Amino acid sequence: MADARSGAYEILQRVDEGGYADLLLDSWLQRHPGLDPRERGLLTELVYGVLRLRGQLDFALAPLCRQALNRLEPATLRLLRIGAYQLLALDRVPAHAAVHATVELAKQVGMGRVSGLVNGVLRSLQRQQATLVWPTSATPGPYLEHVCSLPAWLATALRTQFGDADALALGEALAAPAPHTVRVNTLRCDRETFLAALAADGHEARPCRFAPEGVIIDKRGAAPLPGAGEGWYQVQDEASMLIAHLLAAKPGEQILDACAAPGGKTTHLAALSDNRCPIIALDKHPQRVKLVESGAQRLGATTITARTWDLTIPPDFIAPASLDRILVDAPCSGLGVLRRNPESRWTRTADDVVQLAALQQTILATVAPLLKPGGTLIYSVCTFTPAETDAVVAAFQEAHADFVRDDPRSDLPTHWAELFAADGTLRTRPQDHDGMDAFYAVRFRRNEGR
């Protein structure tokens, strides 16, 4: 019989083999439709929690194991992390039940031979957890690594970039669960109706402070969210919702969404224009282009043409200087959305940042000639590394004298000002802006008459 813990074990194993937690979780839940809602909640919490807090769990487990953790069999370490997460982070599971359930899990997944070790280590942790000495913020490096659960290279990079105080605040924010935020699909529903339907179904929710179509669900009731089948909403972080507003397209304008999949911003652009802007949505990966198409269909976005294209190559089907607006929501290290893709904490490397920055520059250079004089281009990423943000923008400006920085604040509500730096760069941070993901965006205008 499938249950939350064996599901979590299976998913975490697949993540260790290179899979993505969110996709694996969705497909596991689809294959087990009868699972009790409480078990579904526990499964999600175990998968995301173990990945998010792995640094913390390993800090607690390491002194209790005779071998170094990286010398343990991966399956044994996985079991220990699942048990340790329940002991350290889950109030609703009594400690003895957490240990017992993990020992049973070891037997259930064919690892009965290590059930004694699992039992011994977790019992030691249970006894010692109250007296465990965690690093404090007085030692920022160890604190970021072992309490905020960041890999060492990223802990160092944060301290270098932001200084200790901001690095600690960001590290803490990234270690907390992300808010459950959805974008109301205004093609099908309005925010007041959706909020009323949520309340009627027993969910606790409130409007986002900035995005006018954003809703934060603070506490889910037992019922499914209303309007799922009718395309009333799209799961999307508030920071991600801001980007389509920055593009400020007018009805009838031709938009290119250059790196579109899975299509959260494409369908948002369609909704903001009330299906009155033709949108070309490109992405390199055919499987992901299908997600744009299915999302558009589900949400009733009718003006999107999705196509597979690698934008290191100029798209020969788009005429030069023909587009009014271009969004480059570029592939990036995703460090600003670590809470939502928790495995990337452990898979991303400093080398990735260098390679992605080069790709971002190439994609920008490919699409720039497609913009009309007077047209608008947004460059956005869900990360904060200098190499993928300011350095890409500086290199683009250096090579494209006909593109000038354009301050988006004039098109936006005044209270959004706090999200922008003085030069008009959008920089959201989870510790400052209602728990939003960390996004970066810059707007350019192409000079007339060139």
Ligand X SMILES: C[S@@+](CC[C@H](N)C(=O)[O-])C[C@H]1O[C@@H](n2cnc3c(N)ncnc32)[C@H](O)[C@@H]1O
Q: Which of 148, 189, 277, 382 is catalytic?
A: 382
Rounded to 5 degrees, what angle do the CA atoms 149, 154, 157 make?
Answer: 140
Rg (CA), the chain: 23
Residue 336 near ligand X by CB under 6 A: no
User: Which residue type occupies 128?
Assistant: Q
The CB-of-348 to ligand X minimum distance in angstroms stands at 14
Task: Tokens for 155, please give them.
Answer: 């802990």
Q: Which stretch binds ligand X (CB under 6 A): 56-64, 92-100, 109-117, 257-265?
A: 257-265
Nearest-approach distance from CB 195 to ligand X, in angstroms: 23
* Separation CA 275–CA 255 (nearest Å): 12
Q: Is the CB of residue 43 less than 8 Å from the CB of residue 4?
A: yes
For the chain, how many residues are written? 450
* Closest distance of CB 334 from ligand X, Å: 7
The values of phi and psi at residue 159, to 5°, are -65, -40
Q: How far is the CB of 287 from ligand X (least distance, A)?
A: 9
264 binds ligand X (CB under 6 A): yes
Is residue 382 flagged as an active site residue?
A: yes
Query: How many CB atoms neighbour CB 404 within 10 A?
Result: 12
Examine residue 142 and say whether the peptide bond preceding it is cis (omega within 30 degrees of 0). Answer: no
**Is residue 372 classed as helix, strand or coil in its secondary structure?**
strand
Nearer to ligand X, 145 or 257 (CB): 257
| Binding string, residues 55-94; x marks residues near ligand X by CB under 6 A | ----------------------------------------
Determine the interface stretch with ligand X among 54-62, 152-160, 218-226, 262-270 (rule: CB under 6 A): 262-270
Strand partners, 305: 280
Instruction: Choose which of 114, 150, 198, 259 interacts with ligand X (CB under 6 A).
Output: 259
Q: Which of 93, 99, 247, 260 binds ligand X (CB under 6 A)?
A: 260
Residue that has been written with the tokens 């587009």 in this structure:
323
Q: Per rule CB under 6 A, is residue 312 in the interface with ligand X?
A: yes
Tell me: does residue 261 bind ligand X (CB under 6 A).
yes
By CB atoms closer than 10 A (0-12, 13-18, 19+), residue 346 is: middle
Residue among 319, 324, 321, 316 nearest 254 (CA) = 324
C-alpha distances out from residue 78 to 6, 85, 95, 202, 299, Å = 11, 11, 18, 35, 38
Residue from 78, 191, 265, 325 that binds ligand X (CB under 6 A)? 265
Question: What is the helix (H) or strand (E) element at residue 385, kind and residue range?
Answer: none
The smaller minimum CB distance to ligand X, of residues 228 and 235, is found at 235
How many positions of this chain bind ligand X (CB under 6 A)?
19
Closest-approach residue to ligand X (CB): 259
Query: What are phi and psi for residue 310, nearest 5 degrees?
Result: -95, 110
To ligand X, the closest distance from the beta carbon of 228 in angstroms equals 18
Amino acid at 359: L
Q: Which of 125, 311, 367, 436 binds ligand X (CB under 6 A)?
A: 311
Q: How far apart are CA 145 and CA 143, in angstroms?
A: 5
Q: Note whether 214 binds ligand X by CB under 6 A.
A: no
Q: Is 310 in the site for ligand X (CB under 6 A)?
A: yes
Residue 332 CB, nearest approach to ligand X (Å): 6
285 contributes a contact to ligand X by CB under 6 A: yes
Closer of 4 and 364 to ligand X (Cβ): 364
Among 141, 221, 262, 386, binds ligand X (CB under 6 A): 262
Give yes or no for residue 283 binding ligand X (CB under 6 A). Answer: yes
Residues 351-370 as x/- pattern, contact with ligand X by CB under 6 A: ------------x-------
Residues in CB range of 235: below 8 A, 6 or more apart: 180, 181, 182, 183
Residue 443 found at the interface with ligand X (CB under 6 A): no
* Least gap, CB of 309 to ligand X (angstroms): 6
Cβ atoms 336, 431 nearer than 8 A: no
What values do phi and psi take at 405, rounded to 5? -65, 140
Which residues are at the interface with ligand X (CB under 6 A)?
Answer: 240, 259-265, 282-285, 288, 310-312, 329, 331, 363
Which residues are catalytically annotated? 382
